[in-house]
């Protein structure tokens, strides 16, 4: 039995929100039980990042939680709201092959500019009366950074693929399914404005990561993926871009482990030279972004 809520965006939003809440709780419990049984994981020692069992347990919990929050709810949503669930989630259409080439090149040339945005965001300060909040944010950011470094530890080629699954594959599939495949469509239908829908879903996409000093680069990526999805009408393109963005960090960490310890060092040279790279990166990225729009709209009315 299908739910007839095609033109009821508020009901759609409540439905996907409910599915996410129920699913993430269930899968988080399953993941925690699995981590406890397999790795003797103790939730009270979650800050003991020097214990390999704690790290392995956290990885398993992250895997199950991500599936429960991002992957399963959109699939269930598509199944109970449409006879053609893959089409509903924009997984049944494949755009022109040039799109995949453009997104690959775009994610590469965007890297310098994105690193600049990350640097600027990390250097932001709040007003003096909010110093307590800022300190809490920076402490949270520091803890998240330490957890990320612990996650990106490898024990052979098998662990590389396992971490790629957790950090790149599942987020690329799940987050695009939820934020672009479901939420963006809901907000566009709700607001009757594509730009509003794309911006709201991108803001939620960034905010959900709960990292204030990484908010703007994630917002930029959310907008990038949102518009590319809107133009191409296929989730496969932003999924590929998302995978390249996350997966490149994992692969670089595997082959160049010292990179994590020197993340604050610019790879583009002196400040003046770096600025030229940033500007050049932005200009070339804008041109490729325009090309994506052109490729997907030039033959459409």
Per-residue model confidence as pLDDT tens for the chain (301 residues):
688 888 899 999 999 999 999 999 999 999 999 999 999 888 888 777 778 888 899 999 999 999 999 999 999 999 999 989 999 999 998 999 999 999 999 999 999 999 899 888 888 777 877 778 878 778 777 777 777 787 888 888 999 999 999 999 999 999 999 999 999 999 999 999 999 999 999 999 999 887 787 889 999 999 999 999 999 999 999 999 999 999 998 998 898 887 665 444 344 444 556 788 899 999 999 999 999 999 998 765 4
Token pair 């794309």: residue: 198
Angle between helices 98-109 and 111-122 (to 10 degrees): 50
Angle between helices 131-151 and 52-66 (to 10 degrees): 100
User: Which of 235, 191, 182 shows the shortest CA–CA distance to 12?
Assistant: 182
The tokens for 17 are 């929100």
As a whole number of angstroms, the distance between CA 214 and CA 10 comes to 29
Residues in the chain: 301
CB contact burial 63-86 (16+ within 10 A = b; e otherwise): bbbbbbbbbbbbbbbbeebeeebe
- Asked if 55 and 153 count as a contact pair (C-beta separation under 8 A), the reply is yes
- Asked if 35 and 45 count as a contact pair (C-beta separation under 8 A), the reply is no
As a whole number of angstroms, the distance between CA 277 and CA 263 comes to 17
pLDDT in tens, 220-240: 999 999 999 999 999 999 999
Query: Dihedral of CA 181/187/188/194: which sign?
Result: negative
Query: How far, CA to CA in Å, does 142 sit from each of 83, 154, 284?
Result: 46, 21, 33
């Amino acid at each position: 039995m299908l739910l007839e809520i095609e033109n009821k965006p508020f009901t759609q939003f409540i439905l996907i929100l409910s599915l996410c809440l129920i699913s993430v709780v269930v899968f988080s419990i399953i993941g925690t039980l699995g981590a406890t049984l397999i790795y003797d994981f103790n939730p009270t020692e979650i800050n003991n990042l020097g214990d390999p069992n704690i790290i392995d347990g956290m990885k398993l919990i992250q895997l199950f939680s991500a599936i429960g929050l991002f992957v399963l709810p959109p699939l269930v949503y598509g199944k109970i709201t449409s006879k053609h669930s893959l089409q509903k989630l924009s997984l049944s259409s494949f755009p022109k092959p040039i799109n995949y080439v453009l997104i690959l090149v775009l994610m590469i040339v965007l890297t310098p500019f994105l690193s600049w945005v990350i640097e600027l965001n990390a250097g932001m300060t709040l007003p003096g009366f909010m110093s307590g909040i800022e300190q809490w944010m920076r402490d949270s950011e520091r803890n998240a950074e330490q957890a990320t470094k612990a996650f990106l530890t490898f024990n052979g080629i098998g662990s590389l693929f396992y971490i790629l699954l957790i950090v790149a594959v599942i987020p690329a599939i799940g987050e695009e399914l939820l934020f672009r495949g479901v939420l963006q469509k809901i907000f566009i239908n709700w607001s009757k404005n594509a730009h509003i829908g794309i911006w709201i879903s991108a803001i939620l996409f960034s905010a959900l990561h709960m990292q204030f000093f990484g908010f703007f680069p994630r917002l930029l990526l959310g907008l990038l993926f949102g518009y590319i999805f809107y133009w191409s009408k296929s989730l496969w393109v932003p999924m590929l871009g998302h995978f390249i963005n996350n997966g490149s960090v994992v692969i670089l960490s595997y082959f160049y482990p010292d990179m994590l310890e020197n993340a604050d060092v610019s790879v583009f040279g002196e400040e003046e030279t770096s600025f030229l790279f940033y500007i050049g990166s932005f200009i070339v990225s804008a041109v490729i972004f325009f090309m994506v729009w052109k490729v997907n709209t030039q033959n459409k009315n």
